Structure 1
């Protein structure tokens, strides 16, 4: 569904106005707008208040594959809106409660994809189309930097400094409302340059980095749905947040600095970053080979013995 086709209905606008009057931040209002749009996108029709129970059931069936966090976010926002409709006497009961759609228990441990699944995913993305090149670049960028999916779709050309090799995420697009810098690899930089050339050849005066095939701003649900489609083709399951988790775990696995990772990923609390420390058998073996104190002791002993043999050979008194 094209972004230009979606319009808030009268009740949705009244709801957002009431939230705004009560001091809700603009980023939260935008979250509601996007969820209303996703509801229409998933159910393929505007919100039908006469058949909202059935439509709500269809919506949650369609997003059942979402991560626990994303699922709960959609549920919480819609639950608030449905309660508003009850207060306005538009509904008699909340469809979420009638359908017994409960909040999922979130596992706060990272669930990264693996390199093999990522390679399989990239292999099925068509390289001959703009959408394919765009999606491939977005996936590589998330895996390379750990940037959140909602931050990816908000990126503008001015956020990227190709000469210095980093992206400057301004507080107006970050989840934490704080500026941060995230370096990018040369491979991702080249992919961004190539994609930008295509954008400039098709559309003028577009400041967003990633656009729909119609030249409109991207939405998070488009990225999610495309990755779901690619995952199905590849026979794997890779979500946007798994790419973020992939970056975090691989960064530390390759001896990246924990404090640097906290800055790059935009974590307010270091304990959140520490959850990305995942150690498997190979990690332990590799680390032990490098850091074993006995290895150093034996090496020193062998060196001392070698010196002793040389000196005895030359009749040097020790």
Structure 2
């Protein structure tokens, strides 16, 4: 994604209790998501979006298409205060659509006002990987033994392309004969060859159980904790960008080391669509210059005797 959404966990449990009817709607929607096999990450993201609606004093049972259009047009980033990007609007629209479609299909509403919502076109993603030097800076910023987990987070993101929620739930038994088992977005599973740095990391981590355990209900660190730790290390190292840029680094380096093989890179990135892979990979300037410079300017004598 060119503009992935993060959310404040406080939105999951607002300070003021929800009206009983609205609270039951969200609980029923969560049960529906679980029964449909959606991941907790997907369900929580949808709940967050619905709570944003509620915070704007919009009643899901009575809001009109105009009300929802107005809400979507004025959405602002909770961190910067600026209007959200087209990509974020497209994501919010999809999440609201899922909720109101469910309300309509289950007889809780007679109509689906989101069927008439404007359809924002997602912006074309631009690769924004870190450089090799920046990744080295970032790892050096985690040299302190107290930052051992953060160094592991960075390594898993940069040398296996793991997303923060995938890093959070790595277990010792996921290491299988030099390969790493990953259950990613949409429940997709993969066995990835492990980079030598990760083989070394695995030797220092537990053989079974969570690599990053906590006493929380999840049993492992929250994805937001992983993201925050990496971002703080980036700030210490003076490296700009977001933690997701490490995944872009991984994709770009796999593309380069594979000789530009986009199909290999797609498998390494665990993408269903090769178009998604193109978003995460940056073609090396030297390779691009060489390719363009190789275009023949004159007819080949062999072709025209």
Name the counterpart of 1:110: 127
CA deviation map 1:213-235 (0-9, x unaligned): 87941221111222222222222
Name the counterpart of 1:139: 154
Q: Is 1:165 matched with 2:178?
A: yes
Query: Could you state the TM-score of these two structures normalised by the residue count of structure 2?
Result: 0.61
In structure 2, relative to structure 1, the CA distance for the partners of 1:156 and 1:77 (3 Å cut) is: farther
The CA deviation at 1:189 is 1.6
Distance 1:33 1:144 in 2: 28
Q: Is 1:120 matched with 2:163?
A: no
Distance 1:30 1:75 in 2: 15
Rg larger for? 1
Name the counterpart of 2:268: 264
The CA deviation at 1:176 is 3.7
Structure 2 stretches lacking a partner, 5+ long: 1-8, 58-73, 105-119, 297-305
Instruction: Give 1:181's match in structure 2, choosing from 175, 179, 191.
Output: 191
CA contact (8 A) 1:146 1:244 kept: yes
In structure 2, relative to structure 1, the CA distance for the partners of 1:48 and 1:18 (3 Å cut) is: closer
Query: Could you state the TM-score of these two structures normalised by the residue count of structure 1?
Result: 0.59
Name the counterpart of 1:211: 213
Structure 1 stretches lacking a partner, 5+ long: 40-46, 88-102, 198-205, 294-318
Name the counterpart of 2:286: 282
Question: Over aligned residue pairs, what C-alpha RMSD do you find?
Answer: 4.7
In structure 2, relative to structure 1, the CA distance for the partners of 1:284 and 1:108 (3 Å cut) is: closer
CA contact (8 A) 2:87 2:122 kept: no
Distance 1:152 1:280 in 2: 28
Name the counterpart of 1:304: none
Distance 1:82 1:272 in 2: 26
CA contact (8 A) 1:137 1:192 kept: no
How many residues align? The count is: 247
In structure 2, relative to structure 1, the CA distance for the partners of 1:153 and 1:195 (3 Å cut) is: same
- List aligned pairs for 1:54-73, cutoff 5 A: 60-62=77-79
In structure 2, relative to structure 1, the CA distance for the partners of 1:239 and 1:279 (3 Å cut) is: same
Q: Name the one with the larger helix percent.
A: 1
In structure 2, relative to structure 1, the CA distance for the partners of 1:176 and 1:64 (3 Å cut) is: farther
